[in-house]
Amino acid sequence: MSDQAGSIYNLGYQRYTGPRLGRRYAIRVLALHRLRACFGVGRPLSSKIFPIALAIIVMLPAVVQLGIGTFGNADAKVIRPENYYRYVGVVLALFCAAIAPELVSRDQRSGTLTLYFSRALKRADYALANFFALTVSLLVLTVGPQAILFAGNGLVVSNPASYLQDEWKQVPEILASSLLLSVMFAGIGLSVASFTPRRAYSTVSVLAVFILGSALGPILLSVSDQGIVRYALMISPFHVISGFSLWIFGASPEGNGVLAKADIPGGVYALEALVVGSVSLGVFVRRCLRIAT
């Protein structure tokens, strides 16, 4: 070696002899990739603006409440964990409507879906990776502000230690309500968006489901608040999330509000969220299984 004046190195094709990490690795890679795509990480600014803006808006009520607590009356709990989603439900729906098409309509439009399906993944894996990504993103947007609220409230109080002792129960409550919301919204968003390759149509369709449902529910309720008809409120996603939030945090609906009128047990809303989430996930998976490539 040291005697040689020079060498020519082989730049020809090299076989790959390293490890091939298989399906689970591929799913993990895709899931993380999709999660980053939800917030436009690794993309130009235009992909980041919308999700980041929505994330900021989602935090605002928490910040407002902390402001009230700090500079005003520490006991005036205008914005509370159990009614937080009433203020931000629309924002979360917007996030869904914008991001779900990015995840699933885009791949159909560009034809990239074929390439994914011809790799070390099953079709259902693709669906689940996307569902994971959108759910986690929504969790960030739901747990985040709640965490700010929780921590902030603790800080303004005179005795933080006793605050923790009294209020620790909120932690699992926050997690549970956030999870239910995320699963339900992610399911709705992805299942609707997966049916069309055009992102604009997907966005509008997802929004339509949320808005029409939320408008229709109270209208049907106003027809009659007796008997079976009042369960019509369950088609309204925003009321459903308020419903189970109140139930989880052990509060009751406002006396003259729509929820009180419907008088549906809170647990039913929670169950519904789970069912809607699971069924829509099933629809989404089935769509991925059947889509032609």
Binding residues for other proteins, rule: CB under 8 A, are: 12-16, 18-23, 25-26, 29-30, 33, 42-43, 106-107, 110-112, 114-122, 293
Determine the Cα–Cα distance for residues 213 and 235; give it in Å rounded to an integer. Answer: 5
Nearer to other proteins, 82 or 107 (CB): 107
- CB 130, min distance to other proteins, A: 13
Contacts of 2 (CB under 8 A, 6+ apart): none
- CB 120, min distance to other proteins, A: 5
Nearer to other proteins, 50 or 117 (CB): 117
- CB 288, min distance to other proteins, A: 12
The CA–CA distances, whole Å, from 139 to 34, 57, 95, 132, 285 equal 15, 15, 12, 10, 21
- CB 93, min distance to other proteins, A: 25
Nearer to other proteins, 16 or 71 (CB): 16
Taking the chain, what is the end-to-end CA distance rounded to the nearest angstrom? 54
- CB 284, min distance to other proteins, A: 19
Strands (E), 88-135: none
Determine the Cα–Cα distance for residues 215 and 244; give it in Å rounded to an integer. Answer: 19
Nearer to other proteins, 44 or 227 (CB): 44
DSSP secondary structure code for residue 255 in this structure: T
Quote helix, strand, coil % in the chain, to nearest 5.
75, 0, 25
Nearer to other proteins, 124 or 171 (CB): 124
